[in-house]
Amino acid sequence: MNKKVFLEDLGLKDYKETWDYQEKLFQKIVDLKIKNRRSGTKDKTPNHFIFVEHPHVYTLGKSGDMSNLLVDEKVLEKKGAKFYKINRGGDITYHGPGQIVGYPILDLDNFFTDIHKYLRLLEEMVILTLAEYGLEAERSEGETGVWLDVGTPFARKICAMGVRASRWVTMHGFALNINSDLGYFDMMIPCGIKDKAVTSLNVELGKQKIDMDEIKVKLHKYFEKLFKAELIKEEASV
């Protein structure tokens, strides 16, 4: 099993360009697995972890409800936002500046073949990271992602998640709000969940801006620990 994971930070990158890049890496892994199975070879499959920040964009998962986007194309255009229907699970999600987006493209045969465990470990990575800032983040039963004050009238989501997996290869991932403009969340029903708020780390800590690179280092640390993986930094190739 190959537990080495190539780490790329793409900086600020268009959503569609990044999605296409994900698909390329994803398909290479799937194709290699098919080749290994058909020919009896045992070539190691690679793993990737992409960090990125997107310009304003809304994405709707394959089981999502279009009515959860509360504005039309003209309003989106005025706000400088794009919209895509995509092939991950989950409903509608917003990505934008000030948000850390992570896309693990892993062959889970290198780790464990359990999607439920995979999602829970991604959540735990975020929970442990936020704990370093004095926040008691947690899961909300039946709702993927990471929340604060679950079970109270003040429950709010700080990290959304939605993934796709085929032949135990993953893509898409998580979006953690760090310095996000929360006004963009008002144009949708986040993840299709009504009557629950969204928050950002800078708001929770009462700070104007938080160092996102510092957060990434902590996410890297807990990813390696939880997945028993080794991250290998690569120069961005797109």
Q: Please give the annotated binding residues for substrate, written as ranges.
A: 88-95, 160-162, 173-175
- Contact 189/92 with Cβ under 8 angstroms? yes
Angstrom CA distances, 226 to 123, 141, 159, 220, 230, stand at: 11, 21, 18, 10, 11
What's the rounded Cα separation, in Å, for the pair 35 and 40?
Answer: 8
| Residue 191: active-site member | yes
- Contact 180/209 with Cβ under 8 angstroms? no
The three state secondary structure string of 70-120 is CCCHHHHHHCCCEEEECCCCCCEEEECCCEEEEEEECEHHHCCCCHHHHHH
What's the rounded Cα separation, in Å, for the pair 53 and 64?
Answer: 23
- The gap between the terminal CA atoms of the chain, to the nearest Å, is 27
Active-site entry in 148, 171, 191, 229 = 191
What's the rounded Cα separation, in Å, for the pair 102 and 150?
Answer: 24
Angstrom CA distances, 170 to 76, 156, 217, stand at: 30, 27, 22
What's the rounded Cα separation, in Å, for the pair 30 and 33?
Answer: 5
Residues recognised as catalytic: 191
